[in-house]
Amino acid sequence: MSDAMERTLLERFYRALCAQDYSVIESMLAEDATWSIGGPVDALPFCGVYRGPARIRQVLEYKIAETLGRRRIVADYFLADGERGALLGRLVGRLPGGQTIAYRVAQFFVMRGGKVREVHSLLDSFDAAEQVIGRRLGIAHDAGETPSGSIVPV
């Protein structure tokens, strides 16, 4: 498949992801697709590794909604090069209690044979967890502060 065709497919997948068009997302996933979402499962229970189009769709459509309610991805950058792509943006959501949250997210895509085979989602899990639980985690936030305890944000 040509680089132009792969880029077009990645752009279509990216648009479906931003629009939360789950039927298009599912149809574009390879049968052995994996989607990993890195983060603390205690605060963000949708984090983990998921396999197969049906399971991935279930997580995207329902499991994430249980924690983040209605949400959308606002992309700042999207790059595609051959069978690989990357997105950098923000996830904006409304928690079930009505609070709006927003945190950084980066996603990396791998396509093969016209289907998405891998998606790796990296999020600012520290910021996301604080917003979801509704309080600071006791770590220094300002550049001039010295972190307390044994946890150091990197």
Most confident of 43-47, 80-84, 107-111: 107-111
Q: Is a pLDDT exceeding 80 seen at residue 149?
A: no
Whether pTM exceeds 0.85: no
Task: Tell whether the torsion through CA atoms of 88, 121, 52 and 65 is positive or negative.
Answer: negative
| Predicted confidence (pLDDT) per residue in 84-138, tens digit | 999 999 989 888 888 888 889 999 999 988 999 999 999 887 788 788 777 787 6
Neighbours of 150 (CB within 10 A): 5
Structure confidence at residue 5 (pLDDT): 77
Domains and CATH numbers, the chain: 3-133 (3.10.450.50)
Question: How many other C-beta atoms lie within 10 A of the C-beta of residue 107?
Answer: 21
- In total, the chain counts a number of residues equal to 154
Partnered with residue 120 across adjacent β-strands are: 36, 108
